[in-house]
Homo-oligomer: A and B are copies of this chain.
Amino acid sequence: MTDILKPKPQHNHILAALTPDVQRRLFPHLELVPLPLRASIYDRKSELEYVYFPTDSLVSLQCQLQDGSSTALSVVGNEGLLGINFFLTEVCEPTRGLVQSPGYAYRLPRRRVREEFDRHCELMLLMLRYTQTIITQVSQNAICIRHHSIKQQLCRWLLISTDRLSHPRLKMTHEFIGVMLGVRRESISEAASNLQQLGAITYSRGLIEVVDRTKLEAMACECYFVVKKEADLLLAYLPQHQVFPDTDAIPVHHLGQAGDSTVIQ
């Protein structure tokens, strides 16, 4: 569906918030990359040189342990970007991103972003502002893991995810959600089954649809609303500018799956 319509850079709110002047400097260096479901970002060294701006995709930032188990830290959609570590410090390990809803993202060479960042103007302020929302997400996530049930966490997860998409359908299996949240598949199945009985969601073989947001919100913990409020504040902060015209000439690069032989430079 999204394969036909090529997303514009302006679909990402950070990119859209840049003044035409900055857009003229940066947009010629943008590359459009497709993000297939379950793809990993920042697992391959070639990607370390890029900052990603999702347009219609959804990526969760994951923290990993040595045994492979992981836990979601936050969710990034078209309101943000991947690679905040890169401008906080020169050398760093980026956080692994896991594509939880397929789509596209624009990416910029880290060097270009750094140059723009060092001008100490709007892009820097936007990125710092966005860093704040990430910290809020990670913090609230931590306290949610400590104090709330898996069912509540699933509600929060579904709400945050669909907030960042234009539709209420999530193409993901219970197994995959379990990996993202760092819990068993069975726990997700049980919670999802319960939510379905209550008429909040429907699901079948890897496709979850939110049919009643208000029911989900009623069952979610306050953690969702804290994150939601912070996300709304960010959107209110982002100014809207006119569109920089020349965005159709941007090439589309294809990202390899893990274990794939396609390497991106």
Contact = CB atoms under 8 A, between A and B. Distances in A.
A239 to B, nearest CB: 14
Interface string A82-106: 0001011100100100000000000
Contacts of A142: 63, 71, 73, 138, 141-142, 145
A132 interface: yes
Give the 4 A-B CB pairs with smallest separation, nearest first: A142-B142, A120-B120, A88-B132, A71-B143
B131 A95 contact: no
Interface residues on A, range: 35 or more
B128 A87 contact: yes
A249 interface: no
Contacts of A87: 128
A146 interface: yes
Interface string A136-161: 00111111011100000000000000
Interface string A51-62: 000000000000
Contact of A139 (B63, B120, B131, B146): B63
A73 B139 contact: yes
A129 interface: yes
A111 B138 CA distance: 27
A65 interface: yes
Contacts of A118: 120
Contact of A135 (B120, B135, B183): B135
Given A66-B222, A139-B73, A88 B145 contact: no
A140 B85 CA distance: 15
A147 B71 contact: yes
Interface in A139-197: 139-143, 145-147, 182-183
A132 B92 contact: yes
B143 A182 contact: yes
Given A89-B132, A135-B135, 12 more contacts: A71-B142, A71-B146, A73-B142, A88-B131, A88-B132, A89-B128, A118-B120, A120-B120, A131-B131, A135-B138, A142-B142, A143-B182
A19 interface: no
A65 B120 contact: no
Given A63-B139, A135-B138, A146 B88 contact: no
25 contacts: A63-B139, A64-B143, A65-B143, A65-B147, A65-B222, A66-B222, A69-B147, A70-B143, A71-B143, A73-B139, A73-B142, A87-B128, A88-B132, A88-B135, A89-B129, A92-B132, A120-B120, A131-B131, A134-B135, A141-B142, A142-B142, A142-B145, A145-B145, A146-B183, A147-B182
